[in-house]
Amino acid sequence: MPWHRASTANDIPCNAITGAKYRGSNILTLWVAGMQHGYASNQWATYKQWAANGAQVRKGEKGTAGIFYTITEHEDATGKTKATPFARAFYLFNAEQVDGETNKASAPREDLTQRIARADEVITATGAKITHAGSRAFYRHSTDEIYLPERAAFIGTETSSPTEAYYSTALHELTHWTGHESRLARGFAKFKKFGDEAYAVEELAAEMGAAFLCAQLGITNDPRPDHAQYLASWLKVLKSDSKAIIRAASEAQKACDYIMQASETGETRATLAVAA
C-alpha cells in the first residue's frame, strides 16, 4: 500500500470510551476483524457507546461480535449457593467505522503530497462524495461513496511519489464511481460474459482509467510501474479472453471522458444532472 498504516491495530484492543482493554477470546476476535477489514485503530465500542460520545456508526457498517462473561449465583434445592457462568454476545464497532469524535489518539503526520490544482479541480467537479478517513481506499456502491486515507497518510513507494500515490489511488476509486447505475451503468452487467472474472475486468478498467487520467492531468509523465504490477495480478482474465483488455480499455476511456467533462464545462456533475 502506498500509504501509511498505523501500528496501533496490533496492540491489545481497547474500549474507545472507557479505555479498558479487552481480554481473552475477544482479543483474538477483534484482531482478526481488524486484519480482515484493514483497520489501523485498536479502539472499539458498542453502537450506544459511540452515540453517547457524540459519534455515529456509518450506515451499512457491520459490528463484530464479542462475548461478555459473568458469574451468576443462586441457591439450589438444598439451599447451597451455586455459581453459574453466563455468556452474553454484544457487538462492537471499530473507530474507523464511525464518523464524529472517536477519541482516536494519533500523532499528526506531515503531508508529503503536493497539491495539483487541475487534478483537484477535476475531482471536485465530479460531485463525488469522498471521505478521507481510516486506512483503506475503496468505493462503496451501496452508499455511492468513496473512502480514502488522509492525504498525509500517503508515503508513496519505490516507484511513485506520495503525490502520485494519492492521486492515482483517488482516480482509481473515482473510475469505479463512474460505473454506478446513475452514471455509466457499467457494474458487472457489462462484464457478465467474463463470468467469475467480471470483477477482474472492472478492476482492469479502474486501473487503466487511473493511468489515463494521471497522464491527462500531468500527475506523472510515464505509466508508473505500480500500474503494471497491479495489472499483472489480473493476467488470468487476459489470458482467458483476448478481448478483455480491449473492452476494459474502452470502458476506462468512457470513465475518463465522463470525469473530465464536468470540469471542462465548469459545472459539477450534480448541476449537470439537474439540468438534464
Q: How far apart are CA 175 and CA 216, in angstroms?
A: 14
Q: Is 0.85 topped by the overall pTM?
A: no
Residues 32-74: tens digit of each pLDDT: 888 888 787 889 999 999 999 889 999 999 999 998 877 777 7
**Residue-level length of the chain:** 276
Quick one: the chain helix, strand, coil %, rounded to 5? 45, 20, 35
Asked whether the beta carbons of 50 and 93 are under 8 A apart, the reply is: yes
DSSP string, 26-65: HHHHHHHHHHHHT----EEE-HHHHHHTTEEEPTTPPPEE
Residues 120-173: tens digit of each pLDDT: 999 999 999 999 987 788 999 889 999 998 898 888 777 788 999 999 999 999
